[in-house]
Amino acid sequence: MDRIVIQGGAKLNGSISISGAKNSALKLMAAALLTDEPVVLTRMPRLADSRFMGHLLARLGVSVEEGPGPEMTLHAGRIADTYAPYDLVRKMRATFNVLGPLVAREGRAKVSLPGGCAIGARPVDLHLKALEALGAQIELSEGYVEATAPKGGLVGGEIELPFASVGATEHAMLAASLARGESVIDNAAREPEIGDLADCLAAMGAEVEGAGTSTIRIQGRERLSGVRHQVVADRIETATYALAVAAAGGDVELEGGRWEHNKVLWRAMSDAGVTVEPSDAGVRVARNGSQIVGTDIETQPFPGFPTDAQAQFMAVMTMAEGTSVIRETIFENRFMHAPELTRLGADIAVHGNEAIVRGVKSLKGAPVMATDLRASVSLVIAGLAAEGETVVNRVYHLDRGFERLEEKLSKCGAQIRRESE
Ligand code: UD1
């Protein structure tokens, strides 16, 4: 198993180019099931998660080709199978999003209940409610969901989400695009990945209105066409490198990063004493000598503070002057990084969904363990600022969601390398 070894203390200077968004790419890949024509995704991040999704799609009969460069071509000329087995779904929750497209196109599908990061219960009840609203009949048995469309296929319907779930909104959009008539998604999630999926589905021929607001209307089509679509820049990767600069110090241009997708984070970082500003290339982040100041945050659905940047923000706050309160409202059990940060000398007390972080003068390098995707990168951020050597074990979590992390950071001066056991 690989590990990442960091010699802390080096400042970051230069530029980092931001990849396409993992969370968007995975749903765009699922959209390829909706058409018998090729779907070409550009600025595709090369990640363990996208490879994994590719394996599942290949099993369903989709031809998946990578390259040239960061491009992926998916062609579902014919669906060979509508069964997604446990061993191909359990590792990653986004694979569950193949259910809707399969039912929409083939009339039925059997998909295992998903796995994914161990960050709380994460059920799929809202996904299933959405498909039911489009006329699908759902049966659950032995860890599998079997969905069947009425004769003539899925029909447009009213989908009211009690919680603005990102995955359920996307799932509903995918299925509704190939359903007869109009669907309305109320209390839809507003994350930028939703807008990206909407753009792609619209370019495939569906009529999509209101993405980015709480009400999305979709006119489904009997057939959708192929598309060439650029994946939106990863706002979480952008946030992560911005927070790495905050922790380590220096001055970095995040090329392609979208300013408007992280406004609440930028405000929190400015409050904490970090320079963050929009630039021609994307976003510029700098901290040269100024002390980080303790700043409170609370995670919220977009446009609020993203839960996927909470661990990274906490890593920075461990070195702040004063105390910060970090409240997690999206997922239970998403403070698994706190005990690992404590191993580096951080002072963090967790009470339920609240973490009280008392800033310390400096962190000291130590061996730590990655527990989930965003938690592991928070340990890298802490390691960049800690005195001495930090070894992050179990980095397969990192590889799920960060493309060429060591390369991007070392190009800016970080002392970071990967070791294989
Ligand atoms: C997506 C992102 C993830 C991010 C999250 C919130 C992907 C692949 N993952 O996850 O990185 O942290 O959005 O921004 O895009 N819930 C239910 N029932 C459901 C669905 C969700 O109760 O049917 C609950 C979950 O348990 C969780 C909350 O809703 O507590 C948020 O989940 P959701 O917005 O659906 O996140 P995901 O789509 O799983």
Is 60 exceeded by the pLDDT of residue 116?
no
Q: Domain 22-230 carries which CATH code?
A: 3.65.10.10
pLDDT of residue 107: 98
The C-alpha atoms of residue 408 and residue 317 are separated, in whole angstroms, by 23
The C-alpha atoms of residue 243 and residue 238 are separated, in whole angstroms, by 9
pLDDT of residue 81: 96
Q: Where in the chain is the domain with CATH 3.65.10.10?
A: 2-19+233-420, 22-230
pLDDT of residue 371: 83
Share of the chain above pLDDT 70, in %: 98
Share of the chain above pLDDT 90, in %: 89
Residue nearest to atom 26 of ligand 1 (CA): 122
Q: Which two tokens stand for residue 384?
A: 């960049």
pLDDT of residue 115: 65
What pTM did the predictor assign?
0.96
Cα of 175 from ligand 1 centre, angstroms: 18
* Any ligand 1 atom below 6 A from CB of 330: yes
Query: Using one digit for the tens of pLDDT, what is the confidence trace for 78-113?
Result: 999 999 999 998 888 899 999 999 999 999 999 998
pLDDT of residue 119: 43
DSSP 184-240: EEET----HHHHHHHHHHHHTT-EEE-BTBSEEEEE--S----EEEEPPB-HHHHHH
* Any ligand 1 atom below 6 A from CB of 47: no
pLDDT of residue 409: 98
The C-alpha atoms of residue 234 and residue 256 are separated, in whole angstroms, by 9
Which has more confidence, 119 or 171? Answer: 171
Cα of 14 from ligand 1 centre, angstroms: 34
Is 70 exceeded by the pLDDT of residue 180?
yes
* Any ligand 1 atom below 6 A from CB of 302: no
Fold exhibited by the domain 2-19+233-420 = UDP-n-acetylglucosamine1-carboxyvinyl-transferase; Chain (3.65.10)
pLDDT of residue 122: 63
Cα of 163 from ligand 1 centre, angstroms: 10
Query: Using one digit for the tens of pLDDT, what is the confidence trace for 226-249?
Result: 999 999 999 999 999 999 999 999
pLDDT of residue 121: 53
pLDDT of residue 205: 98
pLDDT of residue 421: 73
Question: Which residues are catalytically annotated?
Answer: 117
Angle between helices 22-31 and 235-248 (to 10 degrees): 170
Whose CA is closest to 58, among 76, 41, 44, 37?
Answer: 76
Closest ligand 1 atom, CA of 125?
23
Cα of 147 from ligand 1 centre, angstroms: 21
What is the chain's mean pLDDT, rounded? 95
* Any ligand 1 atom below 6 A from CB of 99: no
pLDDT of residue 226: 98
Query: Using one digit for the tens of pLDDT, what is the confidence trace for 355-383?
Result: 999 999 999 999 998 888 888 999 999 99
* Any ligand 1 atom below 6 A from CB of 93: yes
The C-alpha atoms of residue 111 and residue 122 are separated, in whole angstroms, by 16
The C-alpha atoms of residue 188 and residue 182 are separated, in whole angstroms, by 15
Query: Using one digit for the tens of pLDDT, what is the confidence trace for 42-84?
Result: 999 999 999 999 999 999 999 999 989 999 999 999 999 999 9
* Any ligand 1 atom below 6 A from CB of 196: no
The C-alpha atoms of residue 390 and residue 405 are separated, in whole angstroms, by 16
Closest ligand 1 atom, CA of 24?
15
Is 60 exceeded by the pLDDT of residue 326?
yes
Ligand 1 pocket test, pick from 330, 374, 377 with the greatest ligand atom count within 8 Å of Cβ, gives 330
The C-alpha atoms of residue 6 and residue 131 are separated, in whole angstroms, by 46
